[in-house]
Chain A
């Protein structure tokens, strides 16, 4: 159907951006809209109020559970997610779940996948960890898992630091962010520039079947990526930005908004790649200066008080600008698109 002005009739009241929509067929709604979603991470866990990681983990695993028909096991690295979900003897997991050590989750997952294959069962393996367990402690195991192309989806929930041990910096802490181990020394505040590890690009460089980034602000996008990942075999990597109210100094209700600002400013690029090549990007809907993303976060407060640090803000903006250019994030989003793309701003990379 289309209007006399030639505009396709869509479900504008919720666009494609809300979790569900009473006007569309239940089968076309998001996994999270389903009354019978797996709720892989259930109530009663001890994550902080407004935890982005708890949200991200349920989004990812519920979709993976749907995609595998429940035939999957989860391997978890040490970190917030492991600590808040399984204080002995309780567990919040409603999936088969295994924890070994901080740095060995990719290796344990590789072994689990190999063992399950040896048993002749088609049970899939999803490994997950925080940014500390992924980009620092587990990077060697992860790289090996990629290099061997083991049949594992590895999911990194990136909150930019070691949060459950007291907000220490990690290799994924963004420049200029304050942590408890990046205290002001002399005239310099916050994390240094040029020290971070861009894990999605490291993964992409391994030319594995699938690499993607996502955030908890765009559920539809995240679910589509998990589905795509589970439709493929071999080593796959998904990097999900999960704001941390405690470590980032934000209000608990701001978690989704902050993740949205990370993508809308271009500071966190959302893309998808296969075999070493970026294939699609999540385009920016309403671009905002990176300052709008930084200002609500306590970990960047020193950039605004007592003096406004134009130099640092300028460098952070440059990072966002470089992302926008590298991934083509600013290309006009097809807000009202014709056949092909949806209204969700996805675009093919030329």
Chain B
């Protein structure tokens, strides 16, 4: 059965995104609770509902945010330099999702998969510059949520 999110859940979700962008790491449930003036148990429950609804993804067995797409809370092969800070994207697609989401210029320095060859590309004033390439989508959309970390 689909998880129904409450209005407060969506507010918590937006707070997590804003915090993650500002601090380059996600807020704990204690920080979210303090921000909203909630008991921490309520913040934990909100994080879990957001996970269950695929609005963000938690580290298994915890209430630590692992992914708030397109941003990863852990280091990945796709660092995105944007507005003077480095955020990590979950994948090559998400490396472009970060500047799309923020409406900002960005630079991505990575390697072509399976090689030691640098791939450097950027978004400048809404245009893609630099190296080209192909992004491989291994699974069709209808299976994306079967195993998100793999996808």
Q: Check if A and B associate.
A: no
**Chain B interface (Cβ < 8 Å from any Cβ of A):** none
